[in-house]
Amino acid sequence: MEKLLKDFRPGEIGMVRNVKADGKIRRRLFDMGVTPGAEIMLRKVAPLGDPIQISLRGYELTLRKTEAETVIMEVSE
């Protein structure tokens, strides 16, 4: 099933299917390891509701929901 990374709940795990952002943001996400096939777990949401913290490739990354909205994930039901 397809789901946006933005809509993940804490603890939810999925695999990146595609990244829809443009230009610099897209490149930045790729550079940080958010590439198709990468496994991502949503670790937590910041106290004010944004940004989010994800765990991938053995490290922790934070990004805003506006960026997470462009990451299309594959999750098993």
What are the residues binding other proteins (CB under 8 A)?
Answer: 17-19, 24-33, 35-38, 44-51, 53, 57-64, 67
Q: Tell me how far, at minimum, the Cβ of 51 lies from other proteins, in Å.
A: 5
> Nearer Cβ to other proteins, position 1 or 59?
59
> Nearer Cβ to other proteins, position 3 or 30?
30
Q: What is the helix, strand, coil percentage profile of the chain, to 5?
A: 20, 40, 40
Torsion of CA 6, 11, 16, 18, to 10 degrees: -10
